[in-house]
Amino acid sequence: MLETRDLSVRFGGHLAVDAVSCRFRPGELTAIVGPNGAGKTTCFNLISGQVAPTSGRVLLEGADITRLSPAARTRRGIGRGFQQTNLFPGLGVAENIRLAVQASRRKGGALLRLAAADRTTARATTDILERVQMAHLSKRLAAELAHGDQRKLEVAMLMALEPNVYMFDEPTAGMSAEEAPVVLSLIDSLRRDGGKCVLLVEHKLDVIRALADRIIVLHNGRLVADGAPARVMEMDIVQDAYLGQGLANV
């Protein structure tokens, strides 16, 4: 579904991402791990379009999207959440989701009649509110939500865009021990029930163990390991280059 081919970016003299080639499949959750400065977020930026590569390509369903803007990539089905606050704080929870649903419908260019469009938007909004278990908060202003609920609302808004590829950068950062499992099980369901391709940059070992079908390890911008979690965790290069430097202590 999503593929990078020899993807590289150089910032001045520093090769932040170095010839990363990788395929991501539907229904698979891939955790991208590595020490600080390994190039994880930059890799995300290259895939979602925030950063242009020095060389290499990004393909989505076989089409070259390397030169497309982030907005154009979103329209093609790449949904990136977190680390960017997309909420409308002065609007209610349901309103936030409704706007995201409407944006998604415009993306499809469906020429539904206005009344019918309103009904389908309302139905989709209610459906998402229930899936994220926020129906009881539907009228609460986004600004008044607890941190964990705000993050959950961001996932809900991302779901409204109906992407095929979900990208999450440390989705439980700053969450309490009670809040994190709800967001993680939501992310889990996107892959399991929805058959979506999910990419996750994550430092927390318990999150990786619970969710990942596959782990990719970056180190100094290079992809140094790629495979099933149990196998990758055992590899010497991972133990030396990564686990030894912090992950094991998380």
Ligand X SMILES: Nc1ncnc2c1ncn2[C@@H]1O[C@H](COP(=O)(O)OP(=O)(O)OP(=O)(O)O)[C@@H](O)[C@H]1O
- Residue 130 vs 240, nearer CB to ligand X: 240
Segment near ligand X (CB under 6 A), from 37-45, 68-76, 133-141, 189-197?
37-45
- H or E, element range at 80: strand 78-81
DSSP codes joined into one string, 85-145: ----TTSBHHHHHHHHHHHHHHHHT----HHHHHHHHHHHHHHHHHHTT-GGGTTSBGGGS
6 φ/ψ angles, rounded to the nearest 5 degrees: 50, 45
Q: Is residue 39 involved in binding ligand X (CB under 6 A)?
A: yes
- Residue 13 vs 109, nearer CB to ligand X: 13
Q: Is residue 34 involved in binding ligand X (CB under 6 A)?
A: yes
- By CB under 6 A, the count of residues binding ligand X is 11
Segment near ligand X (CB under 6 A), from 9-17, 23-31, 110-118, 229-237?
9-17
- Residue 24 vs 242, nearer CB to ligand X: 242
Q: Tokens 């999450």 — which residue?
A: 168
Q: Tokens 């590595």 — which residue?
A: 34
**What is the Cα–Cα distance from 188 to 21, expressed in whole angstroms?**
25
* The binder of ligand X chosen from 20, 22, 31, 38 (CB under 6 A): 38
Q: Is residue 219 involved in binding ligand X (CB under 6 A)?
A: no
Interface positions with ligand X (CB under 6 A): 11, 14, 16, 34, 36-42
